């Protein structure tokens, strides 16, 4: 190393130090209460909302509040009525009736017309370190979206048609969502790590006509063949055409002449202009399949105007997005978080965001922090499971990078424990940035509980209060509202927020049974919660059979269904086991048709089978071959007891009413139960 380069390195190190110590303090510590934080004066000045009275004002006139927010968007025709709800069927509610709106227009044209066409809409960071990041401006994105929209029209796609999207985190993903929105088509995204079988189920149920996919993508340095899965997903479905993005030249794909079209070829000669299809506010913008308590994922239906209104205002207020922000939501667009905060939210605000293709630990555990440093990320939105993974990897990784650009940290997906919260706050945020813990669901479409960055307080493990104009209550099993301080079922009271789901695709009965049956007149979240200090809500987790595995939503029933399809398995029961990094992992009790076939090879085979049916996210962490599982007299599996066994709970509860209480003793041996907690 020459003297010059040593000096240059020293100067660089010094710069890092200086800028780190220059980071603005966006929070202050409560003088009396430990680990309670409030927005600093700087934050209050910068925040869109800093007056706590806005909560009360919005609550006094909820419809009025939402109408005011919706008015910040572009409507081709204003609504005739703000809100309507069937008094006998609370699930039949509508927002902004008669209003005509287009989501793509609001995410693109609105900003371009305001002179922001040259502003960067997103920076795409590819996984391979030798590939350069790509900046896409609002005007460029608009052109791309329109070309694709025109190409889709030529393939016969019309308003209301369903379009499957099975893409990795590449720029074409964002363009595809918006191209559907542009022409009023309904997108149905399937997470790229899901299997071909999952794609097929979802395309069949949705009766999709077109699939947009890619030939592959990079994961931990390796190109993966996505087209192979897509081919499985298309076969035997009503899909007529497949548009394929060429992400890499390293993969040779199977080509179905006449059906498959290269993305770059099909858009090449299309016009960069396309008329927006202004749809009625309550028309469908998209559907997204998610796990419920039963075996089959359900197609959650979202409308256009209501969804966009809530996506817009929660992105703007909760992340306090301004023109100088670089917002990074690390979620994949395969999940609702990626839809709302990786696409519609920040784009409807006109913000600049970052889209990252890769895994968090490639090429090393410092990759994310390097991205934060290099792109001067100001708002980072991620999940507790990732935070726990980084805690384990060690503080040396984030310490290598200058993250003084950060202003706000967000968390989503599961309850965040105190250790993860404080580590995120101190090590990533340098004790300067609020952690905004956002509670919501695929069903709610956007944040429904959190604290506002300019209002606070920020308290570890506590999500916050109902967002402006959203009213939550806690209920007891019997249906009465819980007394203050008593834990209960978390439910939303009417008017239901505009971003809320409008149904389960083609299954109204399931919609009613799942969300509207336990308590009268309110939306049942299936989460438990309690009120804490300052009237804030602490969400404790699901009260049904939905697991959160590394932040991914998965039902025990779905996994059981997949496993039961293996020819050697007669029956199975899946329960979650707490896991230090992933939050929960699935544990399988499998009953074989022929017990003598039990072997380690069969375990591997079952894991492979799960990969094929659902995808690697659902991989069981452990498979026990057993002869029996506890059942009720009516033959239903008592998962409560299996859960207790797996968690080593001291009290397994009453087993005397079981059909087969004797099997519990045997299971204790199998899982090594001691009852020690």
Question: Which CB atom, from 440 or from 489, has the smaller least distance to ligand WTA?
Answer: 440
Query: E strands, 532-568, where?
Result: 537-542, 546-549, 552-555
Question: Which CB atom, from 316 or from 548, has the smaller least distance to ligand WTA?
Answer: 548
Taking the complex as a whole, the smallest distance from the CB of residue 140 to ligand WTA amounts, in Å, to 30
Question: Which CB atom, from 266 or from 336, has the smaller least distance to ligand WTA?
Answer: 336
Burial 374-393 (b: 16+ CB within 10 A, else e): ebebbbbbbbbbbbbbbbee
Taking the complex as a whole, the smallest distance from the CB of residue 437 to ligand WTA amounts, in Å, to 5
Ramachandran class of 184: left when φ > 0, alpha when ψ lies in -120 to 50, beta otherwise: left
Question: Which CB atom, from 26 or from 335, has the smaller least distance to ligand WTA?
Answer: 335
Query: E strands, 278-339, where?
Result: 279-280, 284-290, 298-303, 326-329
Taking the complex as a whole, the smallest distance from the CB of residue 90 to ligand WTA amounts, in Å, to 20
**Rounded distance, CA 352 to CA 138, Å?**
9
Tokens of 510: 């399931």
**Rounded distance, CA 668 to CA 663, Å?**
9
Omega prior to 363 cis, within 30 of 0: yes
Taking the complex as a whole, the smallest distance from the CB of residue 528 to ligand WTA amounts, in Å, to 9
Which class for 274: exposed (0-12), middle (13-18), buried (19 or more C-beta within 10 A)?
buried
Question: Which CB atom, from 218 or from 496, has the smaller least distance to ligand WTA?
Answer: 496
Alpha helices in 34-78 (DSSP H): 41-46, 53-60, 62-70
Give the closest residue to 520 by CA, choosing from 470, 466, 471, 478: 478
Taking the complex as a whole, the smallest distance from the CB of residue 411 to ligand WTA amounts, in Å, to 6
**Rounded distance, CA 646 to CA 649, Å?**
8
Taking the complex as a whole, the smallest distance from the CB of residue 92 to ligand WTA amounts, in Å, to 22
- Which of helix, strand or coil describes residue 156? coil
Taking the complex as a whole, the smallest distance from the CB of residue 288 to ligand WTA amounts, in Å, to 9
Taking the complex as a whole, the smallest distance from the CB of residue 657 to ligand WTA amounts, in Å, to 29
Q: Which residues bind ligand WTA (CB under 6 A)?
A: 290, 335-337, 412-415, 437-442, 463, 525, 527, 539, 541-542, 548, 553
Taking the complex as a whole, the smallest distance from the CB of residue 504 to ligand WTA amounts, in Å, to 13
Taking the complex as a whole, the smallest distance from the CB of residue 502 to ligand WTA amounts, in Å, to 16
Question: Which CB atom, from 400 or from 577, has the smaller least distance to ligand WTA?
Answer: 577
Question: Which CB atom, from 378 or from 451, has the smaller least distance to ligand WTA?
Answer: 451
**Rounded distance, CA 378 to CA 625, Å?**
49
Question: Which CB atom, from 146 or from 438, has the smaller least distance to ligand WTA?
Answer: 438
Taking the complex as a whole, the smallest distance from the CB of residue 250 to ligand WTA amounts, in Å, to 32
Residue nearest to ligand WTA (CB): 442
**Rounded distance, CA 70 to CA 313, Å?**
9
**Rounded distance, CA 611 to CA 224, Å?**
15
Contacts of 429 (CB under 8 A, 6+ apart): 403, 406, 409, 435
Residue with the two structure tokens 């670089």 = 326
The whole-angstrom distance between residue 453's C-alpha and the CA centroid of its chain comes to 21
| Number of residues written out for the chain | 677
Question: Which CB atom, from 337 or from 473, has the smaller least distance to ligand WTA?
Answer: 337
Question: Which CB atom, from 149 or from 463, has the smaller least distance to ligand WTA?
Answer: 463
Tokens of 277: 């299809």
Question: Which CB atom, from 337 or from 378, has the smaller least distance to ligand WTA?
Answer: 337
């Amino acid at each position: 190393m020459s003297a010059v380069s040593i000096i240059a390195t020293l100067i660089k190190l010094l710069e890092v130090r200086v800028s780190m110590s220059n980071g603005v303090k966006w929070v202050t510590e409560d003088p009396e209460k430990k680990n309670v934080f409030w927005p600093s004066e700087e934050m209050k000045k910068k925040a869109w909302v800093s007056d706590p009275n806005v909560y009360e004002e919005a609550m006094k006139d909820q419809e009025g509040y939402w109408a005011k927010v919706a008015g910040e968007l572009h409507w081709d025709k204003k609504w005739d009525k703000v809100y309507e709800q069937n008094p006998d069927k609370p699930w039949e509610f509508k927002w902004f009736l008669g209003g005509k709106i287009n989501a793509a227009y609001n995410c693109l044209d609105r900003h371009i017309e305001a002179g922001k066409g040259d502003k960067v809409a997103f920076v795409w960071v590819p996984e391979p370190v030798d590939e350069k990041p790509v900046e896409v401006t609002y005007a460029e994105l608009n052109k791309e979206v329109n070309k694709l929209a025109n190409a889709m029209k030529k393939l016969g796609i019309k308003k209301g048609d369903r379009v499957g999207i099975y893409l990795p985190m590449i720029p074409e993903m964002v363009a595809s969502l918006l191209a559907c929105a542009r022409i009023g088509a309904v997108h149905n995204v399937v997470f790229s790590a899901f299997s071909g079988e999952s794609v097929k189920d979802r395309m069949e149920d949705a009766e999709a006509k077109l699939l947009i996919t890619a030939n592959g993508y990079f994961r931990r340095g390796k190109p993966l063949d996505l087209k192979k899965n897509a081919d499985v997903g298309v076969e035997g479905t009503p899909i007529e055409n497949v548009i394929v993005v060429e992400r890499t030249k390293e993969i040779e794909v199977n080509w179905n002449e006449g059906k498959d079209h290269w993305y770059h070829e099909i858009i090449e000669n299309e016009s960069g202009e396309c008329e927006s299809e202004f749809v009625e506010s309550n028309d469908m913008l998209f559907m997204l399949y998610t796990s419920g308590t039963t075996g089959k994922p359900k197609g959650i239906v979202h409308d256009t105007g209501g969804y966009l209104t809530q996506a817009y205002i929660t992105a703007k207020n909760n992340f306090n997005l301004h023109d100088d922000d670089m917002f990074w939501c690390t979620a994949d667009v395969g999940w609702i978080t990626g839809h709302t905060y990786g696409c519609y939210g920040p784009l409807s605000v006109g913000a600049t965001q970052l889209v990252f293709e890769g895994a968090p630990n490639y090429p090393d555990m410092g990759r994310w922090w390097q991205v934060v440093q290099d792109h001067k990320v100001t708002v980072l939105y991620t999940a507790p499971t990732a935070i726990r993974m980084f805690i384990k990897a060690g503080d040396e990784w984030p310490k290598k990078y200058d993250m003084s650009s950060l202003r706000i940290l967000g968390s989503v997906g599961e309850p965040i424990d105190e250790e993860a919260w404080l580590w995120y706050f101190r090590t990533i945020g340098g004790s300067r940035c609020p952690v905004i813990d956002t509670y919501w669901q695929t069903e709610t479409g956007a944040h429904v509980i959190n604290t506002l960055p300019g209002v606070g307080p920020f308290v570890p493990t506590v999500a916050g209060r109902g967002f402006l104009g959203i009213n939550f209550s806690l209920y007891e099993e019997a249906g009465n509202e819980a007394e203050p301080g008593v834990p209960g079922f978390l439910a939303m009271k009417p008017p239901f927020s505009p971003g809320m789901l409008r149904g389960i695709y083609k299954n109204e009965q399931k919609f009613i049974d799942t969300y509207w049956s336990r308590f009268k007149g309110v939306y049942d979240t299936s989460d438990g919660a309690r009120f804490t200090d300052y009237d804030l809500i602490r969400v404790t987790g699901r009260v049904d059979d939905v697991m959160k595995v590394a932040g991914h939503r998965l039902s025990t029933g779905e996994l059981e269904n997949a496993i039961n399809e293996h020819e050697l398995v007669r029956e199975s029961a899946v329960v979650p086991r707490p896991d230090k990094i992933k939050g929960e992992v699935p544990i399988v009790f499998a009953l074989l048709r022929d017990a003598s076939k039990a072997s380690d090879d069969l375990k591997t085979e079952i894991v492979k089978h799960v990969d094929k049916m659902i995808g690697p996210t659902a991989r069981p962490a452990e498979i026990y071959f057993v002869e029996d599982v506890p059942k009720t007299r009516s033959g239903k599996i008592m998962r409560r007891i299996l859960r207790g066994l797996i968690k080593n709970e001291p009290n397994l509860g009453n087993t005397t009413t079981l059909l087969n209480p004797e099997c519990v003793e045997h299971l204790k041996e199998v899982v090594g139960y001691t009852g020690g907690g």
